[in-house]
Amino acid sequence: VPRVTTRTLQKMRDNDDPITMLTAYDYPMARLLDQAGVDVLLVGDSMGMVVQGHDTTLPVTMDQMIYHAEMVGRATDRAMVVVDLPFPEGQIGIERSIEAGVRVLKDTRCHAVKLEGGAEQADRIAAMVTAGIPVMAHVGLRPQNIHVDGGYRLQRDTDRLVADARAAEQAGAFAVLIECVPSSVAAAITDAVKVPTIGIGAGSAVSGQVLVTHDILGLTTGYTPKFTRNFAEIGKAIGQAAADYVAQVKSGGFPSKSESFS
């Protein structure tokens, strides 16, 4: 099967063929998602919350992103793999962002990076694309900005969000991720650009959807946002399996003769 590329995604947008994207942080999950036909895998800095147990994405380091991107890159045959730039690789010197993107392309088998921000990131995006690093922009709710914004909140400023997406496209971004905006705003952004738009909490008038895999599988403990959906209850299945194992060992039911060497 041919690899999904930036060109594939553009064709999908042009043909109104919805793009599917999910997060992945390790080899077995990435393999399953790739084989299920997910078009794009995101090694998201959401792993700070759903894998590492932090309250925000801010503690995640570039070395950790590379470590996880290697596992996901090795696991996929078809999906395009996008790697988040963790805080503050996309906030301070542009050279630093280019170096981070170069690490992704040289040291993992992944294909692109994602960067939070729009208009104020145009120079950075242009410099990275010039250096040969494909960039997905991320507008709307930007989790790395949480302490400036004072919380995770719906983003409603249509003019600003449209300007952000246009500036990112103009700078050479191959796609724009839109997080947590009213459906009408996401539709306006999608109308304003030609590149694919990928929504999370952005309604259906976009080129594709992304969700956090741990959220849709029931692996996230505690709060999950309104815009996610549970497609499976894997967390419950794991808890049940572990409880069965404990009971079997305690009762002498495991291991059996056939599970032992004579």
Indicate the annotated binding residues for Mg(2+): 45, 84, 116
Instruction: Output the smallest distance, CB 168 to ligand KIV, in A.
Output: 15
Give the residue, chosen from 34, 39, 84, 164, that forms a contact with Na ion under the rule CB under 5 A.
84
Q: Tell me if residue 169 is catalytic.
A: no
Q: Which is nearer to ligand KIV, 23 or 76 (CB)?
A: 23
Give the residue, chosen from 13, 21, 39, 44, that forms a contact with Na ion under the rule CB under 5 A.
44
DSSP symbols for 73-128: HHH-SSSEEEEEPPTTTTTS-HHHHHHHHHHHHHHSS--EEEEEBSGGGHHHHHHH
CA pair distance 45, 144, nearest whole angstrom? 9
- Per partner kind, with CB cut-offs from 5 to 8 A, the member of Na ion, ligand KIV, none near residue 186 is none
- Per partner kind, with CB cut-offs from 5 to 8 A, the member of Na ion, ligand KIV, none near residue 190 is none
- Token reading at 88: 């503050």
Q: Which is nearer to Na ion, 45 or 169 (CB)?
A: 45
CA pair distance 175, 64, nearest whole angstrom? 24
Instruction: Output the smallest distance, CB 257 to ligand KIV, in A.
Output: 46
- Per partner kind, with CB cut-offs from 5 to 8 A, the member of Na ion, ligand KIV, none near residue 33 is none
Residues within the interface to ligand KIV (CB under 6 A): 23, 42, 44-46, 84, 177, 179, 200, 210, 212
Instruction: Tell me the residue nearest to ligand KIV as measured from the CB.
Output: 44
Q: Which residues contact 250 (CB under 8 A, 6 or more apart)?
A: none
| Residue 194 DSSP code | S
CA pair distance 61, 129, nearest whole angstrom? 22
- Per partner kind, with CB cut-offs from 5 to 8 A, the member of Na ion, ligand KIV, none near residue 180 is none
> What DSSP element (H or E) covers 50?
helix 47-50
Angle at 182 between CA 223 and CA 155, to 5 degrees: 70
Q: Which one of the listed residues 70, 95, 99, 179 is annotated catalytic? A: 179
Q: Please give the residue ranges that form the binding site for Na ion (CB under 5 A).
A: 44-45, 84
